[in-house]
Structure formats: structure tokens, C-alpha cells
Amino acid sequence: MLLGLAVLAAALASSGAHALATPNLHKRFGEPAVKHSWVEVPEGWMDDGSVPPADHTINLRIGLKQNKIDVLIEQLYEVSDPTSASYGKHLSKEQVEALVAPHPDTVALVEEWLAAHDISPAHCSRSPAGDWLSVNVPVSKAERLLDTNYRVFRRRDNGNSVVRALSYSLPRFLHDHIDVVTPTTMFGSLHEMRSTGFIQPSGFKAVTDDAEPQRLVLPGRLATLPASCGTTITPTCLRILYATDTYVPAATGTNKLGVAGYLGEFANDADLQTFFRQFRTDAVGQTLTHVQLNGGGNNQSQPGVEANLDVQYTEGISSPTPNIYYSTGGSPPFTPDSATPTNTNEPYMDWLNFILNQTTIPQTFTTSYGDDEQTVPNDFAVRVCNQFAQLGARGSSIMFSSGDSGVGAGSCRTNDGTNKVVFQPTFPAGCPFVTAVGGTTRVNPEVAVSFSQGGFSNYFARPSYQDAAVSKFLTGVGTKFQGLFNPAGRGFPDVAAQGNGFQVIRSGRVISVGGTSASSPTFAAVVSLLNDFRIASGKAPLGFLNPLLYSSLVPGFNDITSGSNPGCGTTGFTAVAGWDAVTGLGTPNFTTLKNIVAGL
């Protein structure tokens, strides 16, 4: 986007001032080298033509290189590989922190650099492992530190504003010591993250579990399924469909399920009880634990569709397993008030740092939010992905919805200046350390739902655990869509679950909701029951699932072999036998999966 002449002149003047003010610093530390930059203003945003006041305060976070992150990832795979002697021997909080702590040389160099810019290391807050430094600084000082210019950018759709930069730089020698600095070029804020759920049209009528007497017999099952489950989903549908209906959790004193919430979405306690009375009467009275962080709220007068969907279906399947809803505050619109530091931290960062700082954490997590991968700076994506690896190493299974745009939403054009049309993977679903969940619809048999997002990451290489499954799928695809996706990238989703017509209570009334944001909590609830079974049997929780999913657990999935995920002006990928980039390995059969994990 071109700047007006006056704005451009101001920007150049500001840049010149930085250059004149820092010759001694450049001589001492070397000329700055770009750490990350955008070719153009990211899609959906516009430069509003203004700059923040020089004394406007921001909370700057510096992610120091984690000295033994490669060792941590290696150990993550060892404790997650069912053929390893270390399987299930998850790491403690202290062991993880020891591996991600920065090298002393890194700490010394970064502190010297900060001190040279009159930022006292003593004034910096530090994460328990020391891999994050946080300090409040005037934007003018941040600009000199990062050789950048912060501007005010506005969302085109809702007018929300943030203070961001189109690029930032560090002395070249620090590139090996600093992974990422925020807030800088990450435009996706908690207010701009997309929930992967949506209220469905009236054609998906609301029902109760007793509204349809007709029943369908599932192959190989004695239980019968209400015929209404073909269009409207309730806990009864899912519990019978995925064979959890006869399992009674026995480790509820230890096992927990965590739901990450953003966007000012609040899970309503009264609606949860109404949901239980209508759809899971034996769970009436079970409560939900609310944890608020980073300014997150719990406004019970404003029930959120996404929040209610998530907790009603995690609890509706996993009851009486304790559930925790984490309400994470978001970035407020920018206001030029220098008296109070602006909360400009990015998605997932605050939640992840909070969870990793807890001594005891849930064994299962689900999150129903994501961004187009290309809108997330690579340095930010890699650092966040590695934080998910830390959670997995500590024994947690992490589910993310894959997205609701087939192989890509909108024009599918790249934002690197080439303006090419390519398939658009999502983040964090494309991170190899999370389990991405796609969507299905109908029953007897289930088929892929058309919006189920899937494809291949452009940031993360295909992990070895899915080599065989993905290679087979790619052989079937052949030269179709050549050039539209990265065949060497991490494939997603990994698994799938129902994603259409979920009956949700909001403000005391039933609405119908769809999206892979329904699929992720559903699959997470099944995983939570598997963790319950493991813990009750004296075994470790499953932890990072993917190496196990693509090996021992394959027989425990209902293979989805029809349907596709159109997008980007194409027909998209097609569900086939085995893994596919629409429904992954398929949907879970709890009974079979339970029998498999019993022997691990």
C-alpha cells in the first residue's frame, strides 16, 4: 500500500533520525539486518496514515533462542513413540525449562545490546526458563532498538486498530540469539483471530435427543443411533457414533480437559446446565472451572457461541471429567494514551506462557481458532510451534481445528508480492506438534464435510511420522493441483470428527452451529476419555498423539472415503482410503482405540 507524500516524508524523516542517533551502536554491534518484513500490508488491514505518539508505551517481548530445543524435540519424539523404551516417560516442568533455557552467552549478548539502548536488564521480566524477556518501553525507543517504524494499522472490516511495523531488524550477530520480537510484524491479534465455528442456517433445525424415535443400527455395534443424527448432532449422537457411550470415567481426580478461549468469548454456566438438562441429564450439576488470564473476562451475561459450543461438547462427551475454560484477554483497539502500556501481545503467546508456567496442566487441550499461515510471520510461527512441543513433552495432547475454508478461503492469493493463487494452509493446524482435526457430516457412513480445511504447510516440513501415509495420498493425487501446494510440507488434518448441525444452548435457546470448531472439542473429549482410561490403569497419559496416531492407532479410526474440500476456485482434495488432506486418518472408534492403548 502506497503512503501519502506527507506520511512518506514523515516516515523517512523518522528513519533518518534513527540512523543519525545510532552510528556508535551500529559501529559496536554492526549494521542491522532484517529479521522479518512484509512486502505489503497484510490482507484485511490498511495503514490509517498515522503514527503512535513517541511516548506511547508498548510491552516488548523478546524470545531468546532456546539452547537445547533440538534435544527437547528429540525427547518429545522418544516419549511419544510407542516402539521406544521411553514411551510415556514425559518430562517434568523443570526438565522442559532446562532444555529451553537460553545459553548464558545468549543472555549476556542480548543484555549488552539492551543496555546499549538504555534498557536496563534489571527492569525486564523473565519467563521461568529465561527464554522470554519482557519490558515496557516507549515506542520511540522500540523503533531505535529494532531499526523500524511503528504505525497505526486498521482492520478494514471492523475498524479495530493496532500498532505494528512492516519490518524489523536486529544486529546480524543477534539473529542466532533471538528467535522473535513482538509486537512487530504479527498483525493477527486476539481480536482478529478467526473462530472456526459458525451459526448455521435454519435448515439445520434444533432437536432434542428424544425428538426422533427412529433408530439406525451402526455396523458392528449393538447401540442404535437416532436417525436425526444425520443432520443434527447432540452428545448422544457423538457418544454412540464414536463408541464412548458405555465408558464411565474413573480418573476424574487426576484427568482434566482444557479449552482455550479467546476473542472475548465467555462460556456460560447457566447455558451449560440447560444443555445438560436437555442433552445429558446424568451430567446435570457438573460445573466448569473458569481461569482468566491476560485480562480475560468471564461475563456471564454475554454467552459466546464458540465458548458454549466448546465446553458443552467437551463436557457432554467427557463428563464427569473436570473441564477448565481458559479465558485469555485480547488486544484492545489502539488508543493514543501513553500513560498505560498497550496490551498488544499476539495470539497463543500469553496462553502458552501461562500454561507452561503451571506445575500441573491438563492432559488434553482443544483450541478452535486459527489464521491463514501466510499471515503469520515465519519466526513467530516456529517459536509458537516449539512451545506446543514443550506442552507435548510434558504429557499433554493438543488438538486444533483445521479450519473451515476447504483448501483456502477468498482469492487465495499470496502476500509475498507475486499475487499467485495457491492453496492456503492454516496455523497452528500446520504445526507438526499439534493434532489437527477436520470435519465430517452425515452418518452411516460419515462423509467429509465440504468446508473441512486441509492441505500442506509452507512453513513446516513433513514429519517422519506421516511419511508413509502422506506419500501414498500424494501418489494418488499425481500432478493434479501441481504448483498449488507444497507436497513436501506437513500434511493436515490428522483426524476428523463431526462438524455439522451441533445443537448448542446460547442464552437458554437452542441454535445450530457448524465448523471444525465443533470437530476439535469432540475429538479432544474422546482423547480425554482415553487419557482417563490410561491414568485409571496406572499408565501415563498419551501426550503428543501424532506418532502414535500414524502407527499403532490407525485401526482405531473409521476411514472416510468420500467427500472433498473445494476452495481457491478448485474442487479441492478428495477423501480416499487411508490418510487424506480432508479428513486425515478418519474419525475415532473409542472402543478399538481403548483396547490398543491398553497394551502400550
Handedness of CA 454, 458, 180, 56 (dihedral sign): negative
Q: Where are the beta strands (DSSP E) in 194-343?
A: 194-195, 198-199, 215-217, 224-226, 257-261, 289-293, 323-328
CA 202-207-211 angle, to 5 degrees, is 140
Return the bridge partners of 287, or none.
none
The pLDDT score that the predictor gives to residue 83 is: 96
Identify residue 407 by its one-letter amino acid code: V
pTM given for the model: 0.92
The pLDDT score that the predictor gives to residue 347 is: 54
- What DSSP state is assigned to residue 524? H
Is residue 189 within 8 Å of 182, Cβ to Cβ?
Answer: no
Identify residue 317 by its one-letter amino acid code: I
Q: How many CB atoms lie within 10 A of CB 397?
A: 28
Whole-number Å distance between alpha carbons of 497 and 551: 19
Is residue 318 within 8 Å of 351, Cβ to Cβ?
Answer: no
Q: Quickly count helices (H) and strands (E) in the chain.
A: 15, 29
The pLDDT score that the predictor gives to residue 334 is: 63
Is residue 312 within a helix (H) or strand (E), and if so which, with residue range? Answer: helix 305-318
Active-site positions? 306, 310, 517
Whole-number Å distance between alpha carbons of 523 and 587: 8
The pLDDT score that the predictor gives to residue 274 is: 98
Q: Is 560 annotated as a binding residue?
A: yes
Is residue 303 within 8 Å of 311, Cβ to Cβ?
Answer: no
Whole-number Å distance between alpha carbons of 341 and 346: 15
Assign 530 to helix, strand or coil: helix
Residues of the chain with pLDDT under 50: 1-21, 190-197, 202-214, 338-341, 343
Q: Are strands 257-261 and 364-367 parallel, antiparallel or unpaired?
A: parallel
Whole-number Å distance between alpha carbons of 372 and 360: 32
Q: Is 324 annotated as a binding residue?
A: no
Mind spelling out the 3-state secondary structure of 105-119?
Answer: HHHHHHHHHHHHCCC
Q: Is the previous residue joined to 445 through a cis bond, with omega within 30 degrees of 0?
A: yes
Grid cell locating 560: 472416510
The pLDDT score that the predictor gives to residue 409 is: 83
Is residue 200 within 8 Å of 513, Cβ to Cβ?
Answer: yes
Angle separating helix axes 93-100 and 378-393, nearest 10 degrees:
150
Q: Where would I find the H helices in 366-466?
A: 378-393
Grid cell locating 116: 546499549
Is residue 545 within 8 Å of 434, Cβ to Cβ?
Answer: no
The pLDDT score that the predictor gives to residue 21 is: 44
Q: Where are the chain's structural domains? A: 5-67+102-187, 195-331+361-598
Q: Give every CB contact of residue 40 below 8 A, 6+ residues apart in sequence.
A: 1, 415, 417
Q: Where would I find the H helices in 81-135?
A: 93-100, 104-116
Grid cell locating 131: 527464554
The tally of CA atoms less than 13 A away on the side-chain side of residue 53 is 12
Identify residue 10 by its one-letter amino acid code: A
Whole-number Å distance between alpha carbons of 469 and 480: 18
Q: Is 578 annotated as a binding residue?
A: yes
The tally of CA atoms less than 13 A away on the side-chain side of residue 116 is 20
Identify residue 119 by its one-letter amino acid code: I
Whole-number Å distance between alpha carbons of 31 and 501: 57
Q: Is 580 annotated as a binding residue?
A: yes
Grid cell locating 481: 493441483
Assign 489 to helix, strand or coil: strand
* CATH number of this structure's domain 195-331+361-598: 3.40.50.200
The pLDDT score that the predictor gives to residue 190 is: 41
Q: Where would I find the H helices in 81-184?
A: 93-100, 104-116, 139-146
